[in-house]
Chains A and B, each alone.
Chain A
Amino acid sequence: MSHDQRSAFVRGASLSMGWADASKSLTDLIFEGVSSALAASAVEMEQIDSVVLSAHDLIDGRSLSSMVTAPAAGAYLRDEIRLAEDGLVALSLATARIAAGESRLSVVAAWGRASEADFLNTSRASMDPFMLKPLGLSEFDVSAFRLSKWLSKYPGKEADRNRAAETRRHRASRNPRTVASPALSFPLNFPLRDAEQPRWADIVVAAVVGCEDAPVRVAGVGHSTDQTMIGDRDFLDMPALRAAASTACDDAGIVLNQIDLFEIDGLMLSDEVITLEALGLCRPGEGFDTYARSTTINPSGGAGAGWCYPAMGLVRFAECYLQLTGAAGAVQSKSRARTALAIGASPIGSQTQTAVVLEAE
């Protein structure tokens, strides 16, 4: 892998996951999260020349929420843009700005406050009003369709599935960033299970990226988009995911099996598992077993440690960064990883995918 003059480097990151802290407003949480990222980066706000954000109005609970949230993230008389996308897209755009010479040091932040957001109804409001909404479909049902297809193709994996759920629960319990007291769960349709739900959290994740050398480099970025209609998609093959990962690896000059560590986004455990299968990290049908055995796939506990759209791709990125810098705490991988792949997905049912390869010195 070779450095080029347009590389972006990660100066630091912070990840905060909590639950329903009535003493803090959303802007308080954002200010704290960005301040922590700046402190972790040894960077003063005055040095920052751009801010790239990912947040969604309906999760934040007000229209054009960046009017009040962007200043809390440091966007005062600064170049700032807000995406209504997964957080990993913001990271990608920030690195593009550095590569383009438009910015030298950028704050990237994403958040979601599950304790106040109405994820289920927000998700339902995303569905086609004529064909899908009357059925009451939500993101959970897309996950149920995906798992149903997997189960029909690969029956008899009950023990693997249980072990994967237990492994994820165990890892999440050791992750010092795991949200402490989740109090929210949603009714699920067959074949989804409560034990495979994400742990809902109030999340603020932030990073500082810049053009000057730092121990971790953003080596590759890839994006792609799947079919619009849910019925048109190949739920198990996930071509958009594979295209995004392939582009990121090509960009980094690395092949997938050379990567040391993976942090994969998925609403349900089964989404994480099917994603790792589609990436080619194991043979089809062996995803639950691989998830349970591998210490390099979602060592953080994935969505079991905390989840709220649209922060999750940047959360996966932050967990990768902490692993690469040896700062992951109790979930630190024993063999120190030098390369990592973070995956972020969008609604509806991962229609767009983002992949980012990180490389340590």
Chain B
Amino acid sequence: MKQPVAIVGIGQTTYRRHHFNRSTDELVREAVVAALADAKMDLSAIGLIVGGVAPDALAGINHIDMSSIARPGIPYFRVNTGGATGSSALLSAITWIAAGRCKAVLVVAVERMGHATTAQKIFNSIFDPIYEKDISLSTISMVALRATMLMQYYGYTLDHWAGLAARNSAVSQLNDTLERPRNFTAAEVLSSGILAWPIHKLEACPTSEGVCAVVVASADMVGDRSAAWILGARGLSDTYAMGDRMRRAEGTLVELVTLKKAAALAYADAGITDPLRELDAVEIQAPFASSEPMAYTALGFCEPSDGPRFADKAIDNRAGISINPSGGPQAANPVSATALIRITECALQIRQMAGRRQVDGIRKTVSTGQGGATQFSTAVILGADRP
């Protein structure tokens, strides 16, 4: 029988636009030393290091992980699934332990996108060079297309996007991993200028750098360590072309079919049948305000047609679940690390180590990861009680 696995150590740098005065090695060291100290372990207990680094071009150095993350004598490999990199790396760590290959794994996700002259030009290069690059498709215009679809299908309005952005901004003020959290109202969002209609500037995540490190251990290593138990962890991939996902039988582009399926599998692993009632908190990898409601429905919090009403409740903090207690990725979105940060924030809440952003009574959570053009999805369920 598989041994349960838990998160027992967490270390994070602060997240800011550009750590201009610190090398990647220094940032990694800070996060790793903190994670190992939190886990009450040293590197000799670690049987595998998994690196999470998304496109090399963002950092400007190929294989930046080989010098900054890999350590002599310890098995190492790197995961790259775009925005889902951090959570995919954690899933690999769980696999390694569940396979009996070692008892503790260190996961380190690094983002240095502040080094890129313009991140959006690099994100433009993820799209098809013949049909899509020339029309300046980027992560922003990709999100704008989806937001338009949501407005047409379900009746979302610009006020929903602005309200969610402002709500996440307000929550993020308590997050001490953010060096300079942005603080703005919905009215300020609506007057912040259009990036690509209907996306306003303040609905978009800022360019973000930083490192997140997590120690994952098998049950027999947990002992008296503070643990967030992994109750379910699943990932699924979809086809590439967004046009192929517009109106297929499995679900439309904005229904996030892979997240819906991944969450259903993770819920089944965790024995969850009524997510909104049984879960206490959710961290959603939605770098744009308009991306967040797609996850509400995929995670089973509401029906798609009820999405706008659920979003109203989320804006007013009366959704029946704590949504993005960290402020979420709209506050900071270091691409390679962001999906791991979502899991980390849930783990901190469960371990009651979230500082000023701690929410009372958090015992079971779900966090999401999204990579590519919402193509790679992960769902991770954490709990306070050993399964």
Q: Mark A residues whose CB is within 8 Å of B.
A: 6, 51, 57-58, 62-64, 66-68, 70-71, 75-85, 89, 93, 95-97, 99-102, 122-123, 125-126, 128-129, 221, 223-229, 239-240, 243-244, 346-348, 351-352
Bound complex: CA of A96 vs CA of B102, how far in Å?
A: 11
B72:A63 contact, CB within 8 angstroms: no
Per CB-CB distance, the 5 closest pairs between chain A and chain B, nearest first, are: A223-B75, A100-B98, A80-B237, A99-B99, A63-B55
- For residue A265, give the distance in angstroms from its CB to the closest CB of chain B: 15
A66→B123 CA distance, assembly (Å): 14
8 Å CB contact of A351 from B55, B70, B80, B82: B70
The answer to whether B100 touches A77, judged by C-beta atoms less than 8 angstroms apart, is: no
Q: A6-B99, A64-B82, A71-B240 are in contact. Are A83 and B77 (CB under 8 A)?
A: yes
With both beta carbons as reference points, the residue of chain A lying nearest to B375 in the complex is identified as A67
| CB of A331 to closest CB in B, whole Å | 30
| Distance of A138 from chain B, by nearest CB (Å) | 11
Roughly how many angstroms separate A98 CA and B99 CA in the complex, as a whole number? 8
Question: In this complex, which of B53, B122, B373, B375 has the most chain A Cβ atoms within 10 angstroms of its Cβ?
Answer: B375
Q: Which residues on the A side are within 8 Å of B55 (C-beta)?
A: 57, 63-64
* Count class of interface residues, chain B: 35 or more
| In the complex, residue of chain B having the shortest beta-carbon distance to the beta carbon of A129 | B61
Known interface pairs A57-B55, A57-B56, A63-B122; 5 further A-B residue pairs with C-beta atoms within 8 A, sorted by A's residue number: A64-B55, A81-B91, A89-B77, A223-B76, A227-B72
With known contacts A58-B62, A81-B92, A225–B373 Cβ distance under 8 A: no
Query: What separation, in Å, do the CA atoms of A225 and B48 have in the docked complex?
Result: 10
Interfacial chain B residues near A228, Cβ < 8 Å: 66-67, 70, 72
From B61, B75, B239, B261, give the contact of A225 (CB < 8 A).
B75
- When C-beta atoms are compared, the residue in chain B nearest to A99 turns out to be B99
Q: Which residue of A lies closest to B83 (CB)?
A: A64
Contact between chains at B82 and A67 (CB < 8 Å): yes
> Are B70 and A225 in contact, CB atoms less than 8 angstroms apart?
yes
The CA-CA distance from A64 to B66 in the complex, in Å, is 18
Residues of A within 8 A of B67 (CB): 128, 228-229
- Residue of chain A at shortest CB distance from B121: A63
* B258 contacts A84, C-beta separation under 8 Å: no
Q: Which residues of chain A have C-beta atoms less than 8 A from B258's C-beta?
A: 77
Beta-carbon contact of A79 and B235 below 8 Å: yes
Please give the distance in Å from B143's CB to the nearest CB on chain A: 15
Report which B residues bind A (CB closer than 8 A): 2, 48, 53-57, 60-63, 66-67, 70-82, 88, 91-92, 94-96, 98-101, 122-123, 125-126, 128-129, 234-240, 250, 257-258, 261, 371-373, 375-376
A347 to B236, CA, bound (A): 29
Q: Which of A71, A82, A102 is within 8 Å of B95, CB to CB? A: A102
Residues of A contacting B240 in the complex (Cβ-Cβ under 8 angstroms): 67-68, 70-71
Chain B residues in 8 Å Cβ range of A99: 98-101
Contact A77 B125, CB 8 Å, known A57-B57, A67-B373, A101-B2: no
Which B residues are CB-close (under 8 A) to A224?
73-75
Residues of B within 8 A of A96 (CB): 95-96, 99, 101
User: Does A80 lie within 8 Å of B75, measured CB to CB?
Assistant: no
Residues of B within 8 A of A58 (CB): 56-57, 62
Instruction: Determine the distance from Cα of A51 to Cα of B376 in the docked complex, in whole angstroms.
Output: 13
* A102 to B266 Cα, complex, angstroms: 12
Cβ contact within 8 Å between A93 and B56: no
Q: Contact: B371 with A64, CB < 8 Å?
A: yes
- How distant is the Cα of A62 from the Cα of B376 in the complex, in angstroms? 17
Known: A77-B237, A80-B376, A96-B101. A63 touches B57 (CB 8 A): yes
Could you pull out 17 A-B pairs where Cβ atoms are within 8 angstroms?
A6-B100, A57-B57, A70-B237, A76-B237, A83-B79, A83-B80, A84-B53, A85-B77, A95-B99, A100-B95, A125-B56, A125-B62, A224-B74, A227-B72, A228-B70, A352-B75, A352-B77
Bound complex: CA A244 to CA B54 (Å): 26
Of all chain A residues, the one with the shortest Cβ separation from B234 is: A79
Q: Are B236 and A243 in contact (CB under 8 A)?
A: no
